[in-house]
Chains A and B, each alone.
Chain A
Amino acid sequence: MTTALEILLKLAAWLLLAPLLPGIINKVKAWVAGRRGPPVLQLYYDLAKLWHKGVVLSTAVSPAHVIGPAMAWVAIAGAALLLPVGQTGASFAFRGDALLFVYLLAFARFCIALAALDTGSAFEGMGVAREVSYAVLAEAAIITALLTLCVQSGTVSLATMLAPSAGAGAALLAAGLFGVLLAENCRVPFDDPNTHLELTMVHEVMVLDHSGPPLAAILHGASLKLLLFAVLLTEAVLPLGKLSLLPAIGVLVGSAMVVAIAVGLVESLLARLAFRRVPLLLTTSFLLCLFALLVAWKGGTP
């Protein structure tokens, strides 16, 4: 009974806290630009509003257009249950859950991509093509990061992989994972969530034709994914498993803030890359993870 309650509590925390991150990022961007900016809770208001709005469906779409976002949301929430929180561990932990985590996010991408292609618009096609292509490089980087953690800890379970720090290569791994975080969550310099030119979008253009509750599911899923990556990045680098519960949560919250501020600063200070440069930057992220792997390989004790 307690475990069921614990799982529910953790899930509720993930789901409720997730929309905070985009709010913080936007606030940081506004501060840097000297504006007041939208309230930190803006995404909550948006989600509440969208949940009650009616839906306009394209005449071209199949039921996949509505079902896809729901399935993607479940997959991302499932991935959240696999991620451990400090010493309390994950709600579900077993050997090999690290791979399930990666593939659940891939499943979410698959569902959103099909829901987007459903509209038959060239813009959506363009966005999906970019999304699934860049994901190839991002996936290589994530698998490499997991291999680094596996070499470091000697296990394949997220709970034990993420408990110690990533060792000497932690900085490399953090940089690599931060690149993947930016790419997977449609942030500058890979993609600009605020652009007004559909031709240059990746994620935003995929949801152009979504509205109402399905759009709310997509937006909430996206914010949850950002939080997942922020927590994964933190736990990969810092030895949270060594702290007791409250300090661990404190460190997690603090570092999620740091990640959000870093994302906000990157967005304020950098311009979006030209599309032909995006693969180069992602390859750099992959190489950073690869060097972290080499450091772990050479530095660790067999």
Chain B
Amino acid sequence: MTPGWLLLLAGAGLAAGIFSAFKSPRLWLVTTLIGAGAAFAAAVLMLASGVTWDWRPGFVIGGEALHLQLDGLSAFFLVLLSVLGGAGTLYSSEYWSDKAHPDSAPAGRAWWNALLLNMGCVLLCANGLHFLIVWEIFTVCAYFLITRERQRPATRAAGWLYLASSHVAMIFLFAFFALLAARTGSWELGPMRGHPELAPLFWLALIGFGLKAGIFPMHIWLPSAHANAPSHVSAILSGMAIKMGIYGLVRFTGWLPVPPSAGWVVAALGVTSAVLGVAFALGQHDLKRLLAYHSVENIGIILIGLGFAMIAVSHGNAAWGQLALAGGLLHVWNHGLFKALLFLGAGSVLHATGTREMSRLGGLWRAMPWTASLFALGATAIAGLPPLNGFVSEWLVYLGLFDAVSGRGHAAIAAIVAAMALGVTGALALACFVKVCGVVFLGLPRHEIAPHVHECGWRMRLPMLVIGVACVVIGLAPILFWPALATAAAAWQPELANSIPPAPLVTLGAFHLALAALVILAAAFLWRRVRRNGLSRAGTWDCGYAAPTARMQYTAGSFAGIITGWFDWILRPQRHEQPPGGNFPARAGFEEHTPETVLEKIIEPAGSLVLRLSLAVRHLQHGRVQSYIFYLLLGLAALAILAVMGGAK
């Protein structure tokens, strides 16, 4: 089958899913999975053959002829969309079942399919007007998915914030596409590198797509939306929806000329997002909010790769740019995979315990061994540790940066800063995920959690397992994925076509394979040795203290305290302290909360200032007819003066 028929099948499957969502959950599950599978097949087929699928059926929608196109770049993102879409579909059939959520589940299924369908259409559209239409529909679908539990005020607030910031982004995109169409005379999209006058439009695209991607100062909507959405929705939001912003940036930096400073700005935003994203993550106590801030961090790593690739292109396609781009693109896949895995894992924790508050959890590995191991796998991957996929993409970015440094070119100083930032980010992410895994899954339960804590069923476990296997495979055999990366890179800049895979990728894969095998062997060997030597059980020693309780364990806040102290200047944590006092201290307490600083310290004050100024304007409207007639007279006089003075033609 050609990609065209497969895509038609995918569209039909997803559309059929929308209609069967209300009547028959089973039919919905089957049709949606078929749709996701067909989309996956189409994307893989395209990436394997390297032939762009281009379709102009002659339909006219909104006055513009429909034009769909599946090239290397869209196929690259479509692979991720179909994998995460399929996994989320199966997961949600248990996680957000009709039994648990009779009111919201059927509509949720319909919105889910609409979201997948429209994200797919965004990837395929090669017409500016249609791109805008499906982009808006996908944004709105995501809103309805985020607000599935809208009886909770926090969810409504998160949804509103998401909708508002998405529409600010939308205004910039309207401006971008409208100006593009006005200057080129057509809504058709495609390579337009020969028009240097289009370069300034890049800044509009950067804000429009950057808001969607959650680049650092524009990430304000991201934490609350990810935290309050159902977990399969958080997974697709973080894994795919914010990648649509990256897709937009990659797509239009490839098709349009960019200003000379564009690459530097993107790289600088990447460094800022990476370091500050993980710093904010360390300050969080809410499991899903923490994961959301890690999306900001990983978007930063992707942008470091993309930014340096842009710098390289603007200076004669240096070879290191290709490595940085490959790293950035591979990190799109990797982050999509391990972040979805982590959100799905967080979802099963939430499903089992009913809380996202890490300080209430602990020791969950006993009741949930599958979730705990898969979450630990995802944590190892996201911390960028060998032998998993996160390390491969970070390593490619590093390699690009180090090559830029050793070449001592114009970008070397920037590459030095970026490499240091990447190193710090990696160590901070490691600290953060040691904290998460340790506090949530290890140790003892900190609070009396409901007695029905249980492992999730196979429909939630299987998607996590599939994504986990994908993380391992990319880590152990990265060379298999190079052709896909090369095809995508060639779609970005044709000069990058026929790129040779870097030889060390094969060696790295072999080393990872050996490492993974030896790690398993050594673990089994030590375990057997321990068994043979004799094993006895006792309480944790706790340095001789006789009556330790589970509440004495280190909490998430105290664990991260040292690092969050270093970042006090931006995190601005709010502390409520009630120190023990008097000769017989009775009550004492300490509470710390890290707010969303950019939102609460910059956006909200600015918003209330605008509101106050607007209120001042409202004094003009007071209901006195005499004054209104006076306004009319003033207006007429002004028009008359204009007409006389301006020399009306």
Contacts and interface: CB of A to CB of B under 8 A. Distances in A.
B614 interface: no
B147 interface: no
Interface stretch (B244-252, B511-519, B615-623, B638-646): B511-519
Interface stretch (A17-25, A120-128, A224-232): A120-128
B538 A150 contact: no
B497 interface: no
Nearest to A212: B533
A253 B151 CA distance: 70
A44 interface: no
Interface size range of chain A in the complex: 35 or more
Contact of B504 (A59, A95, A106, A107): A95
B102 to A, nearest CB: 37
Given A52-B533, A125-B554, A132-B434, A144 B380 contact: no
Contact of B365 (A53, A62, A99, A209): A62
Interface in B430-456: 430-431, 433-435, 437-439, 441-444
A110 interface: yes
Given A103-B386, A122-B552, A59 B535 contact: no
B431 A136 contact: yes
Interface in A112-146: 113-114, 117-126, 128-130, 132-133, 135-136, 138-140, 142-144, 146
B539 A136 contact: no
A41 interface: no
B56 interface: no
A73 B444 CA distance: 26
A34 interface: no
A9 interface: no
A114 B379 CA distance: 11
A140 B538 CA distance: 40
Given A106-B385, A129-B561, A67 B554 contact: no
Interface residues of B, number: 81
A113 B585 CA distance: 35
B333 interface: no
A62 B369 CA distance: 10
A156 B376 CA distance: 30
A155 interface: yes
A12 interface: no
B307 interface: no
B537 A59 contact: yes
Contacts of B363: 60, 120
A74 B522 contact: yes
A252 B561 CA distance: 40
Contact of A106 (B366, B430, B435): B430
A113 B442 CA distance: 11
A58 B542 CA distance: 10
A28 interface: no
A92 B507 CA distance: 9
A100 B554 contact: no
A284 B422 CA distance: 20
A218 B419 CA distance: 30
Contacts of B648: none
A187 interface: no
Interface stretch (B68-76, B195-203, B401-409): B401-409
Given A56-B538, A106-B430, A198-B543, A100 B395 contact: yes
A121 B431 contact: no
A147 B529 contact: no
A129 B526 contact: no
B405 A150 contact: yes
B520 to A, nearest CB: 9
B86 to A, nearest CB: 30
Contact of A78 (B408, B515, B525, B542): B515
Nearest to A198: B543
Contacts of B539: 58-60
**Max chain B Cβ within 10 angstroms of own Cβ: one of A123, A146, A198:** A123
B540 interface: yes
Given A67-B527, A107-B386, A136-B428, A100 B438 contact: no
B553 A125 contact: yes
Interface string A64-102: 101101110111001000000000000010111111101
Given A128-B559, A139-B427, A213 B511 contact: no
Given A110-B430, A114-B376, A156 B442 contact: no
B186 interface: no
A55 B530 contact: yes
Contacts of A62: 365-366, 372, 441-442
A154 interface: yes
Contacts of A103: 384-386, 391, 395, 426
Contacts of B403: 156
B406 A156 contact: yes
A107 to B, nearest CB: 4
**Max chain B Cβ within 10 angstroms of own Cβ: one of A132, A142, A151:** A132
A265 interface: no
Contacts of B443: 60, 117-120
Nearest to B387: A107
B500 interface: no
**Max chain A Cβ within 10 angstroms of own Cβ: one of B433, B538, B554:** B554
Contacts, number: 247
Contact of A139 (B386, B424, B438, B511): B424
A113 B438 contact: yes
Given A150-B406, A151-B408, A156-B406, A123 B542 contact: yes
B533 A74 contact: no
B176 interface: no
Contacts of B427: 106, 132, 135-136, 138-140
A114 B519 contact: no
Given A58-B538, A117-B443, A293-B416, A78 B395 contact: no
A129 B507 contact: no
B629 interface: no
Given A78-B518, A132-B431, A120 B553 contact: yes
B636 interface: no
B362 interface: yes
A210 B96 CA distance: 42
Contacts of A143: 419-420, 422-423
Given A96-B402, A110-B434, A67 B536 contact: no
Contacts of A63: 527
Contacts of B503: 94-95
B533 A54 contact: yes
A56 B537 contact: yes
Contacts of B560: 129
Contacts of B527: 63, 66-67, 70
B205 interface: no
Nearest to A279: B566
A136 B424 contact: yes
A135 B430 contact: yes
Interface in B394-415: 395, 398-399, 402-403, 405-406, 408
B534 A55 contact: yes
4 closest cross-chain pairs (CB), A and B: A125-B554, A120-B443, A117-B438, A143-B423
20 contacts: A58-B538, A59-B540, A60-B540, A62-B365, A62-B372, A70-B525, A71-B519, A78-B515, A78-B518, A94-B507, A96-B504, A109-B430, A110-B380, A114-B434, A120-B442, A121-B541, A122-B552, A124-B554, A147-B405, A150-B405
Interface of B: 362-363, 365-366, 372, 376, 380, 383-386, 391, 395, 398-399, 402-403, 405-406, 408, 416, 419-420, 422-424, 426-428, 430-431, 433-435, 437-439, 441-444, 502-504, 507-508, 511, 514-515, 518-519, 522-523, 525-527, 529-530, 533-543, 548, 550, 552-554, 558-563, 566
Given A120-B362, A155-B406, 19 more contacts: A56-B538, A58-B537, A58-B539, A59-B539, A60-B540, A67-B526, A74-B515, A75-B519, A92-B511, A95-B503, A99-B395, A106-B385, A114-B442, A120-B442, A121-B548, A140-B420, A147-B405, A147-B419, A208-B543
